[in-house]
Amino acid sequence: MTTSQPAAKGKRVAIRQDLFTTPLDDLNAVHLKGTKCNDCGEVFMGHVISCAHCGSESMKGIVFNDQGTLYTYSVIQYVPPGDYKGPKDPFIPFVEGLVELPDGIRIVAPVLDCDPKNARINMPLKLKVYDFFKDEEGNDVVAFCYVPA
């Protein structure tokens, strides 16, 4: 669920359901949401109803820490296949990272505002939530990435 902005042409919509805290008005105040298993403590991105580790259905919603570190990464040097919404003309190579959060999860995410030459395993990162592209209805589609902290 997303909150519409008053008096805007379009509204802000999330690129993926149940991943962002709401409202989306002030993107600096938006965090990633997850689900934690009350039995084994494993955490998952977004909303899940059962634990893929232990099978428990006793789950609670959590908000992830914004801070993380770069567990590993690769550099995307060519336009990704399919309907990529980032800059294509010209394409800007970017770091794709596996970002470890203190919550006990590693998330695959773009690591932006970071020259691929400067990326290092274990470098500190922080979440950035931003307007990524406009959909057909003129809505701003909100995505996430990590940037050097």
Partner 1 sequence: MKKIAIVGVGIHPFGRFGEKSYQQIGQEAVRMALKDANVAWKDIQVAYLSSQYLPSTAASRVLKPLGETGISLVDVEAACASGGVSVNIAMLAVQAEACDLALAVGVEKMPRGFMDPMMNFEKWQVQMGLSTNPSYWAMSARRHMHDYGTTEMHLAKVAYKNHKNSVDNPNSMYRKAFSIEEILASPIVCYPIHLLEICAPNEGAAAIILCPAEKAHKYTNKPIYIEACVHVVAAYSSDFRVPIESMSARIENPSPVTLASQKAYEKAGVGPMDMDLIELQDTDAFCELQIYENLGLCKKGESGKLIDDGTTDRNGRIPVNVSGGLISKGEPVGASHLGQIAEIVYHLRGQAGARQVANAKIGMAQVLGARGNCAVTILKR
- Residues of this chain that bind partner 1 (CB under 8 A): 15-16, 41-45, 52-53, 71-78, 80-86, 94, 96-98, 100-101, 104-110, 121, 132-133, 141, 143, 145
Separation CA 14–CA 123 (nearest Å): 27
Report the C-alpha gap between 92 and 87 in whole angstroms.
6
Cβ proximity to partner 1, 6 vs 46, nearer residue: 46
CB of 7: closest distance to partner 1 in angstroms? Answer: 27
Task: Decide whether 6 or 91 has the Cβ nearer to partner 1.
Answer: 91
Q: Which is nearer to partner 1, 54 or 149 (CB)?
A: 54
* Least distance CB 23 / partner 1 (angstroms): 20
Nearer to partner 1, 27 or 76 (CB): 76
Shortest distance, CB of residue 138 to partner 1, whole angstroms?
17
Least CB distance to partner 1 at residue 116 (A): 9
